Amino acid sequence: MTATPAVLAIDVGGTSMKGAVVPRDGRPVVVERWPTDPATDTVGAIAGHLRSLAAVAREHDLDVVGAGVVTPGMLDEASGTVVYASNLDWRDVPLRALLSRATGLPVVTGHDVRTAGLAEQLLGAARGVEDFVLVTIGTGVAAALVTGGRPVTGDGGAAGELGHIPMVPGGEACTCGQRGCLEVYASGAGLARRYAALSGVALPAEDVVARLGRDPDADRVWAEAMAVLAQGLVTATLLLDPTTFVLGGGFTAAGDALLEPVRAGLAAGLAWRPAPPVRVAELGSEAGWIGAAALAFRAADLPDAPHAWTPPTLLAAPAP
Supply the CATH number for residue 110's domain: 3.30.420.40
155 plus 109 within the same structural domain: no
DSSP 26: S
- The reply to whether 143 falls in a domain is yes
- The reply to whether 80 falls in a domain is yes
- The reply to whether 201 falls in a domain is yes
225 plus 295 within the same structural domain: no
Provide mean pLDDT across the span 281-288. 93
- The reply to whether 123 falls in a domain is no
Which pairs from 142-148 meet CB under 8 Å and 24+ separation? 142/72, 142/113, 143/113, 143/236, 144/113, 144/114, 144/116, 144/117, 144/118, 145/117, 145/236, 145/240, 146/117, 146/121, 146/242, 147/240, 147/242
> 318 pLDDT band (50/70/90 cuts)?
low
Instruction: Enumerate the β-bridge partners of residue 136.
Output: 142, 248
150 plus 273 within the same structural domain: yes
140 plus 250 within the same structural domain: yes
Instruction: Enumerate the β-bridge partners of residue 147.
Output: 150
152 plus 221 within the same structural domain: yes
CA-to-CA distance for 141 and 116, rounded, in angstroms? 14
185: left (phi over 0), alpha (psi -120 to 50) or beta: alpha
Average pLDDT, the chain: 94
HSE on the CB side for 168, CA within 13 Å?
A: 20
147 plus 265 within the same structural domain: yes
CA-to-CA distance for 145 and 147, rounded, in angstroms? 7
- The reply to whether 215 falls in a domain is yes
Give residue-wise pLDDT tens across range 14-42. Answer: 888 999 999 999 999 999 999 988 888 99
- The reply to whether 163 falls in a domain is yes
Model pTM greater than 0.85?
Answer: yes
258 plus 177 within the same structural domain: yes
What confidence score (pLDDT) does residue 320 get? 58
Q: Is the pLDDT of residue 77 over 90?
A: no
What confidence score (pLDDT) does residue 162 get? 95
Measured N-to-C along each axis, helices 112-123 and 287-299 cross at an angle, to the nearest 10 degrees, of 90
Give residue-wise pLDDT tens across range 154-189. Answer: 988 889 999 999 999 999 999 888 999 999 999 999
- The reply to whether 320 falls in a domain is no
212 plus 143 within the same structural domain: yes
Length of the chain: 320
DSSP 265: H
111 plus 8 within the same structural domain: yes
The b-or-e profile of 86-115 (16+ CB within 10 A means b, else e) is ebbebeebbbbebbbebbebbbbbbbbbbb
First and final C-alpha spacing in the chain: 27
60 plus 48 within the same structural domain: yes
Domain around 244: 128-280
List the single range of 155-169, 214-228, 232-246 with lowest mean pLDDT: 155-169
**Beta strands, E only, 96-215:** 107-111, 132-137, 141-147, 150-151
Q: How many domains does the structure of the chain reveal?
A: 2
Strand 16-23, strand 141-147: pairing: unpaired
193 plus 173 within the same structural domain: yes
Strand 4-12, strand 62-71: pairing: parallel
- The reply to whether 107 falls in a domain is yes
31 plus 136 within the same structural domain: no
